[in-house]
């Protein structure tokens, strides 16, 4: 989709390139991460308001390090080079870059030494986050130094006439506390952006684009009840109404009454043509006696495709498109010197292993968005909080939270325990601070006493973590009174459980899920 105002981010392989995009978009300015070697002519045609050159792990003087088209500095478009991007700017414009006497990683104090629109409104002494071995030794002609640190005499440089800037530190990370203000200055003071990219406009533009693309054809969507597929369903329905057909596969391993909630919301409230495949018995029959987690996942994945395909065939005579909840991080082309560009997703796509007789054109209305932006779209479309703020839920469902054999009785125990975990934590005013929380049914039993009777029953573990992206996580310090309520309710209300444990391991070395 075309945007009238945007900033281009050329990716040189930094692990935090996506953070640059997040910080820019937080300012209501649209931006895209694109290839490091995007030709200047292409950028001229697409006319971004600004260009950012990201950081990266390579050394600029090396012959095989990723370079940019030198002509981008002659387009008259403001440029900001970050870390490797600053070194690349200097190198390309006939300055010099050499290995530093001392590598610099971590927090550093920087002093602003010259007037710059990039630092307007900031105090002269700032904490920044450095992560570099090389540094600029000689600036190109026409550049001036505007900031320094003890180990980096050229911590920031600029060519004021050409609107080209470079910073040796990373303004996009939280360890540079005023970095957000610097990026704001670049977007608004230097690039003259209006900052009018809002979710309401995104929805309006996408609804029009979907209608134009789909025309009189129909779209099939696999609805899981998760955030992404739910928002896709709401957006497609707003655009094409009864031309959308959703298939929801109930594998018998969902949370308590989840299928009924989905039917009530999407079928009744939204009026979407929803086809529910109740296949719990089929899934359980195939999982009987299986305790290996990888085998569970494989069986569930294969069976899901079979069930979904069977439903899809009943609609395939009128369906041309398959909707998918692809997000921006899934489609960003990696230009890391380690990875190389990723393969472009084909528009005529055999999605998720569907049989050859069920190939559809792909429609991905969320492919420009990060997760938090998807949630904002969902709110704008009127989806309730329990959908847009829903936590990550594993594809195999409760199968990977039941350690060992899966039986209808064990599913019921876990559903009831998990319900009470969620109910008690959601009573907390700050429950949205907890990234994920759930119950796990362990494959052991323990001795207990209930009344005057000895019991020998199941053990439930409670897992709650805090995280920003799920890549790393710390166990969440739930208040004791909340843990007390969870334990009391599970033991007293869930038949077959006499002991509750709290998981206090972080990721790494543990994973968030148990299997």
List, by residue number, the catalytic residues.
83, 170, 172
Contact 77, 49 (CB under 8 A): yes
Contact 484, 442 (CB under 8 A): no
Say whether 479 sits in a helix, a strand or coil: coil
- Give the torsion through C-alpha atoms of 149, 7, 188, 199, to 10 deg: -120
Radius of gyration of the chain from Cα atoms?
A: 27
The DSSP bridge partners found for residue 79 are: 51, 164
H-type helices in 7-137, by residue range? Answer: 17-26, 40-46, 84-92
User: Which residue spans within 327-452 are E strands per DSSP?
Assistant: 348-349, 360-363, 436-450
Q: Which of 305, 339, 470, 496 is nearest to 15 (CA)?
A: 339
Q: Residue for token digits 């030494």?
A: 113
Tokens of 250: 């109930």
Sign of the four-CA dihedral 443, 449, 450, 455:
positive
Contact 102, 151 (CB under 8 A): yes
Q: How far apart are CA 19 and CA 174, in angstroms?
A: 10
Tokens of 430: 């700050």
End-to-end alpha-carbon separation of the chain, Å?
Answer: 39
Q: Read off φ and ψ for residue 513, nearest 5 degrees.
A: -75, 155
Q: How far apart are CA 243 and CA 257, in angstroms?
A: 28
């Amino acid at each position: 989709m075309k945007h009238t105002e945007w900033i281009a981010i050329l990716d040189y392989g930094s692990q935090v390139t996506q953070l640059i995009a997040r910080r820019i978009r937080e300012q209501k300015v649209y931006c895209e991460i694109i290839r490091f070697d995007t030709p200047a002519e292409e950028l001229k045609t697409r006319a971004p308001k600004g260009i950012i050159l990201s950081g990266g792990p390579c050394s600029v003087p090396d012959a095989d390090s990723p370079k940019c088209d030198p002509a981008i500095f002659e387009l008259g478009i403001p440029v900001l080079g970050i870390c490797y991007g600053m070194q690349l700017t200097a190198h390309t414009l006939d300055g010099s870059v050499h290995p530093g006497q001392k590598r610099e990683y971590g927090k550093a104090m920087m002093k602003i030494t010259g007037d710059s629109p990039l630092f307007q409104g900031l105090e002269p002494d700032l904490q920044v986050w450095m992560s570099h071995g090389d540094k600029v030794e000689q600036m190109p002609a026409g550049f001036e130094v505007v900031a320094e640190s003890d180990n980096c005499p050229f911590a920031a440089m600029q060519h004021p006439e050409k609107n080209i800037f470079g910073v040796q530190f990373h303004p996009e990370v939280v360890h540079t506390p005023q970095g957000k203000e610097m990026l704001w200055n670049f977007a608004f003071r230097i690039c003259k952006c209006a900052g009018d990219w809002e979710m309401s406009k995104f929805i309006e533009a996408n609804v029009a684009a979907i209608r134009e693309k789909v025309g009189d054809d129909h779209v099939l969507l696999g609805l899981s009840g998760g955030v992404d597929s739910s928002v896709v369903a709401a957006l497609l329905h707003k655009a094409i109404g009864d031309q959308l057909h959703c298939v929801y596969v109930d594998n018998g391993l969902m949370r308590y009454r989840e299928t009924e909630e989905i039917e009530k919301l999407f079928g009744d409230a939204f009026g979407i043509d929803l086809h529910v495949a109740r296949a719990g018995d089929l899934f359980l029959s195939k999982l009987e006696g299986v305790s290996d987690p990888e085998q569970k996942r494989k069986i569930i994945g294969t069976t899901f495709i079979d069930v979904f395909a069977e439903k899809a065939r009943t609609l395939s005579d009128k369906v041309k498109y398959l909707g998918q909840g692809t997000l921006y991080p899934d489609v960003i082309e990696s230009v890391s010197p380690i990875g190389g560009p990723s393969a472009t997703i084909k528009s005529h796509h055999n999605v998720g292993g569907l049989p050859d007789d069920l190939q559809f054109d792909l429609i991905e209305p969320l492919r420009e968005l990060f997760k938090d932006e998807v949630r904002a779209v969902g709110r704008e479309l009127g989806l309730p909080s329990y959908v847009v703020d829903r936590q990550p839920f594993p594809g195999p469902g409760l199968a990977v939270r039941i350690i060992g054999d899966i039986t209808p009785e064990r599913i019921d125990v876990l559903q009831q325990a998990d319900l009470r975990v969620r109910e008690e934590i959601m009573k907390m005013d700050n429950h949205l601070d907890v990234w994920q929380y759930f119950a796990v049914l362990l494959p052991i039993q323990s001795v207990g006493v209930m009344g005057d009777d000895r019991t020998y029953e199941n053990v439930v573990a409670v897992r709650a973590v805090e995280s920003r992206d799920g890549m790393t996580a710390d166990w969440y310090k739930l208040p004791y009174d909340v843990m007390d309520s969870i334990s009391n309710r599970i033991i007293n209300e869930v038949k077959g459980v006499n002991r509750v444990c709290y998981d206090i391991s972080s990721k790494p070395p543990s994973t968030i899920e148990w299997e």
